[in-house]
Amino acid sequence: MAEEQEEAGHLLAKANGHAQKKMNGTVQQRPVESEIYEEENIFLFIPNLIGYARIILAVASLYYMPLHPRTCSGLYSFSCILDAADGMAARRYNQGTTFGAVLDMVTDRCTTSCLLVFLASAFPRWAIVFQGLISLDLASHYIHMYATLTMTGQSHKKVDSSRSYILHLYYTNRVVLFMFCALNETFFIALYLLSFSSPLLSPSLLVTNENGLTSAQPGSPAHPKHSTLFANPWSAAALEMARANKMDSTIPWIVAGISAPVMFGKQVINVIQLVKASKWLSEGDVAARRKAGIAPKKKRA
């Protein structure tokens, strides 16, 4: 009796699963998914449009970076501020997407790397430090994202507290995440401004005249002569170079001092993220090798 009921249940489920049903002598088609939902263009979602605006602002800031410190800092900072706006828009309009998350991360990594490349050229003695920061930033985020997508299929911001309390707090607390990211970028922007305003960090800003007196030299960290770059000394770029020397380094020094501890903490988080993600991937590899039967077995005593 139980077997007959089980068989009847299977037949009923099979009948209910058919795509067509006969009703009143007519055949009624099951609605196709495309007929139920409206067409959506993920690329035109509001958070992704904000992401495109961030890219445009970032590219513009890179264009002005060598000679226009004020313009570059403004554009770069505005691009970073929009980093918070796209997340707010995604939650507000329920338009969170995998493409948007990847676009956001790639934009962050690329813009920060480009700024660090400039700092490496502005401070050649510390180039290896900036190169290390670029490598750590790219490696930790790539491996972390790959690990979360491979092991859970979820966003890189979905970190369980049992795996890492620090990463869980970092990614789930929006205030913590925003402060770390914002102050990390703020430190590098302050360092960028110091390369134009502080002879202490950029000795190339100093020039010695025939009397042996040292004075500040207007221009970029490499301080090329105007005549070698601009035929007209009153051009916009030449004037910006002259204005660069008039930048006071007090505020950039204060901003750099305040944001430096957070920047250092961000690098510690990157290291933790790199180590945890690497261990997580190795656990997945061990499980996959055991499932495939290629892992070495313990020898019996």
Note the pLDDT of residue 201: 81
Sketch out the chain's domains with CATH numbers. Answer: 42-199+248-285 (1.20.120)
Return the bridge partners of 140, or none. Answer: none
Closest-CA residue to 202 (of 166, 139, 244, 234): 244
CB 238 within 8 A of CB 232: yes
Note the pLDDT of residue 235: 64
Distance, CA of 256 to chain centre: 21
Q: Is 29 helix (H, G, I), strand (E, B) or coil?
A: strand
User: How far is 174 from 83, CA to CA, in rounded Å?
Assistant: 12
pTM, two decimals, is 0.77
Strands 26-29 vs 214-216: parallel, antiparallel or unpaired: unpaired
Closest-CA residue to 255 (of 54, 73, 55, 63): 73
Q: Which amino acid is at 10?
A: H
Structure tokens at 193: 């401004």
Structure tokens at 213: 């007196």
Note the pLDDT of residue 19: 41
Phi, then psi, of 23 in degrees rounded to 5: -135, 125
Closest-CA residue to 241 (of 251, 250, 232): 232
Block mean pLDDT (10 aa), the chain, length 301: 45 45 50 73 94 96 88 94 90 90 92 95 92 96 89 77 84 89 96 87 63 48 51 61 70 96 96 93 91 84 64
Structure tokens at 224: 């090329």
User: How far is 2 from 218, CA to CA, in rounded Å?
Assistant: 92
DSSP, res 245 = T
CB 236 within 8 A of CB 230: no
Return the bridge partners of 22, or none. Answer: 27
Structure tokens at 94: 């329920």
Note the pLDDT of residue 32: 57
Show which residues are catalytic.
Answer: 108
